[in-house]
Structure 1
Amino acid sequence: MPSPVNPPRGMRDFLPADKRRRDLVLGTIRETYRSYGFDEIETPVVEESSRLHAGLGGDNEKLAFAIMKRGLSTEKLQSAETALDLADLGLRFDLTVPLARFYATHRATLPTVFRAIQIAPVWRAERPQKGRYRQFVQCDIDIIGEAGPMAEIELISATAEVLGRLGLVGTTIRINDRRILLGLLSHWKVPTERFDTALVIIDKLDKIGIDGVVGELAEIGVPTDDLAAQLAELAGATWESSAGARWLDAEAFGDLLSLREALPDARLEFDPTLVRGMGYYTGTIFEVAHPDFGYSLGGGGRYDGMIGRFLGADVPAAGFSLGFERLVDLVELPGGSAEGSVILYDATVPPAELVRLQHELAADGTRVRLDRRAKNLKNQLAGLAELGYTRFATLADAAAPLEWKPLS
């Protein structure tokens, strides 16, 4: 049985020090994106169940938490053929589907090219493990209405700036294009009706290796002669080695070269095996990689067809999502913290005087805490320092001036 005092499996409590750390990192991400002209929006944590299971979210749809309809009768419970028959709402599993719905709802009041920030929790019925939770925060930026390469350029540029401000050195952005992937499948003579399945298999290359991919492709009827050698070559491909290859979509590759030229300070690495699991991507795809970690720190791409599912007309769109839960553990925050003051008072000090001092100090935005002075002052000060406070003063007499001392 679950413990009565622990949070649900795959979800976490955050102590004040953890929450402060998360907020500092989120603040850097938010302000950086805002400085690049993106505007923050907010959407409900729930969406219509039919929308969450409309084929827009790929495999994540299978992980959506459903919310049961109100007032279900025993007859309706017994007649339901599937669990989803009992649900009319669900918790969002990402921020892209809600954004598409948001844009379709508010399109008339939004600018022609809309740059959105979404920073919010999402929920997936994952099998909890290290770095993978059932509730986690996503940090998304999206550009809707820009069909040209400026959307990808702005997304990559802003995200690279975030990584730099967070002090994450050594990161690269792996980049590919769905057109290149589809051309590769055609070169391998994969039947068109098997394209989606084949891409899912290739996307597992990092997990199951070349032999595993070749074996699974063989199971769906893909010719595997020399395929292992080709995959090995693709896994080590570079911009230079890929140019002119028989499997390469020249137009898509040219577009990627143009992105690299426009972003000389971003470390773009061409990876023809990069898939990104979402089936809604239609063009450029990208992923943040770090040499010390075997998982991505974020990713995204162009998804021109999604919003059209709501509007009946295609709208160009591209987005980049940072994996905040993985990112926050890697960031080394500066040693100092924003000033916070603590007044350690004796019981003899009138409450009205304590409140007056707190108001006076807090008027300029300073963080002020009132604490009864403990017998073990050393332990009390250590605990306050862990909470981020930087100075303290003791107060035994309301008439005495405050003498501030550093908390260290």
Structure 2
Amino acid sequence: MEHVLRRLDLTSLPDDRTLRALLPRPAVDVEAALPAVAELVRDVRERGEAALVEQAERFDRVRPAAVRVPVAEIRGALVSLAPEVRDALETAIARVRVGSAAQVPPPSRVELAPGAVVELRWQPVDRVGLYVPGGKAVYPSSVVMNVVAAQAAGVASIAVASPAQAEHGGLPHPTILAACALLGIDEVYAMGGAGAIAALAHGVAGIGLDAVDVVTGPGNVFVAAAKRLVSGVVRVDSEAGPTEILVIADASADAELVAADLVSQAEHDELASAVLVTDDAGLADRVDAAVARRAAETPAAERVRAALTGEQSAIVLVADLAAAARVSDAYAPEHLELLTADDDALLARIHHAGAIFVGPHAPVSLGDYAAGSNHVLPTGGQARRVAGLGAATFLRPQQVVRYDREALAEVRAAVTALAAAEGLPAHGEAIEARFEEAR
């Protein structure tokens, strides 16, 4: 039997470092893109609007009539939006609002001693730039994920950038504009790729674009490289690359559901990763057969097959579900699905994943739109150290210190002793000044 997905036999697991090197990944090298992207970023920083227009002509094959989208175009796109799409977007917005609001941490207060209090409050940044990619699909859902999270955090100033579209007269896709209108966003720019990230980070006076404090949103390798280059100027979210799904399934799983979910993510891009980890060779065969059929029947068949047969996709055979959890943690997938006889027991073993979807009725595509979770997630193993997008992305914890005289007296000696030990006597003198007799 010819397999669509290549097989990787890991029934005997190596050490974790070796394991990470063996696992399937797309051939995406942000480091290699940096020199070319640095030129694009520098050009936008130095020449502003002229550079953005030239980059749109070069990469998007269109000259935008205006880089800043007129408000009338944004509002007009909402008027023209199909009712069923508007309803779907409003459902997604409502659910993501609830999910994002729950992510905002409450303020806290700790009293270390009588009169010695440290409070923690969470403050939003002033302004954010949110990137929505173009490419092979249209992503109004990414508008929802980015904007709603920022609004839940309390961000007052929000700018959205999305590539100019030749098919739409140099404007971003009208569904993108309509989603912005639904969310009350009227600052939208027709700019894409590395240039858009540079413009948001540095500002472009000629089009009224003020620099932002945080840049977020998914994109290709050039967007990821641009984020890396501007990260000393603004905060960025993860360097999101091609999408990933890893499914852990055992003999109890429905092979058709597993196949449908693998194909759904392969639909995004030829570099998308679709990985099944299973301890059951029979399930592997059933899934592969179902994938072959579904991949041939789907409208994006050519793109799906390229993703599924690429080096970044595979069926990984393991000895048991404990080994499956080890493989998943070594991979640290963007999206992880659990389809086993005891998903909660398996979940307890999992540590690294962007988002986890548990059970047969929680597919990744639900999270892409209306689960109430956020679909902007770390890829390429970054989930080992980076969180997905959420309200916290736009928040900063601030400590507020309140001490009265008696509380300060209690630690007076400790502070002055440490100040002296560090060779900073004026630090100690600032404490002692509070106890000097009034002159």
Say which structure, 1 or 2, has more relative contact order (CA 8 Å, 6+ apart). Answer: 2
Smaller-chain TM-score bracket: under 0.3
The structure with the largest helix share of the pair is: 2
- State the TM-score, normalized to the length of structure 2: 0.24
